[in-house]
Amino acid sequence: MHSIKYFQELFNERLAIEKFDKQPIELYKPISYTFSLGGKRLRPVLALLACDLFEGIIENAINPAIGIELFHNFTLLHDDIMDNAPIRRGKETVYKKWNQNIAILSGDTMFVLAYEYLMQTDSKYSNKVFWVMSKTAREVCEGQQYDMNFEKQSKVSISEYLNMIRLKTAVLLAASLKIGAIIGNANEQDADYLYNFGINIGMLFQIKDDLLDAFGDEEKFGKKSGGDIISNKKTYLFLKAMELASDDDLNKLKHFFANTDFDENEKINSVTEIYKKLKIDELAKIEMENYFLKAIENLNSISVKDENKKVLSSFAEKLMRRQR
């Protein structure tokens, strides 16, 4: 098995060869700009890792991996518009640098390009790959809609939240792994085990993100702590606190999250103090641990040599420990 770093370098080298400098320039330059912002390339790398796990031909997975990364970045372009986000990876978002209409159209083009790259999958695997990707694309949109719905809903259950992050975040990680497994000639059961591994690490990843937003080191996390609290986002931490809080603490949470007109530091400090009092951070870590154990159980069920699984098990462990 090759390392994650090896596949990151391989993928970035291949992505750099691809040219998105066609005409009209107003349509394609934002696409080149988006890729110039960098990123971990997590999803395409997982596709390549999955192919390697089953000792498949890595070259066969390169174009589908590029398609997956194009699709992921298409969602980011549109998410930034819906979230009114001015910055991504330390740079202006596309709609801020150009305008909203250009960002929408460039995003749409990335979606089309994603399928053009997926169409270059070997015909032996293409039908299965298309079905996985199409189902995933629909689910990601469903997850985004649920996320927007939650902004207006006064009550959201933890199970509803977990379903939303499964759709919005976890399914694309899982699909990346399953597509790589299909191209690597995995049997159906093993591909499903790997898909479920991806679902569980995706859930772990998002809950860790919620935790870092409230309690992470700003320098390591790369953004201001408490952003979710300031914007009244219904994260796992908030929903768990609402479930467990009583009397004054419950009233304080309702008060702070019903409005935005507060001193930011006061709001962050007050809410995180309630989280600490209720041990929400510890409960979030327990939830993450449960997903981690499920992920490893699925990984261990795959019928390949244990030696080949070490890169993915190590990756799951790093997600548990990550600080950014």
Q: Cβ distance 136 to 172 under 8 Å?
A: yes
Query: Residue 206 domain-assigned?
Result: no
- Predicted confidence (pLDDT) per residue in 172-207, tens digit: 999 999 999 999 999 999 999 999 999 999 999 999
Asked if 179 and 220 sit in the same domain, the reply is no
The reply to whether omega before 44 is within 30° of 0 (cis) is no
Asked if 195 and 140 sit in the same domain, the reply is no
In terms of residue numbers, what domain contains 99? 1-186
Asked if 110 and 217 sit in the same domain, the reply is no
Asked if 24 and 77 sit in the same domain, the reply is yes
C-alpha 79/C-alpha 90 separation (Å) is: 16
Please state, rounded to an integer, the average pLDDT across all residues of the chain. Answer: 94
Q: Which residues of the chain have pLDDT under 70?
A: 217-224
Cα-based distances in Å from 47 to 4, 183, 197, 247, 311: 11, 9, 13, 49, 13
Asked if 63 and 84 sit in the same domain, the reply is yes
Query: Residue 127 domain-assigned?
Result: yes
At 52 the pLDDT is 97
Asked if 247 and 157 sit in the same domain, the reply is no
C-alpha 241/C-alpha 84 separation (Å) is: 27
Q: What pTM was computed for the model?
A: 0.94
Query: Residue 205 domain-assigned?
Result: no
**Last residue in a domain, options 152, 186, 220:** 186
At 19 the pLDDT is 84
Q: Which residues pair with 87 in a beta bridge?
A: 92
Q: Cβ distance 92 to 75 under 8 Å?
A: no
Q: Which two tokens stand for residue 273?
A: 């103090």
At 89 the pLDDT is 84
* Residue 2 CB neighbour total at 10 angstroms: 12
Query: Residue 222 domain-assigned?
Result: yes
Cα-based distances in Å from 46 to 37, 135, 291: 20, 18, 18
40: helix, coil or strand? Answer: coil
Q: Cβ distance 281 to 211 under 8 Å?
A: yes
Asked if 195 and 168 sit in the same domain, the reply is no
Asked if 39 and 182 sit in the same domain, the reply is yes
Q: What is the CATH number of the domain that holds 3?
A: 1.10.600.10
Structural domains of the chain, count: 2
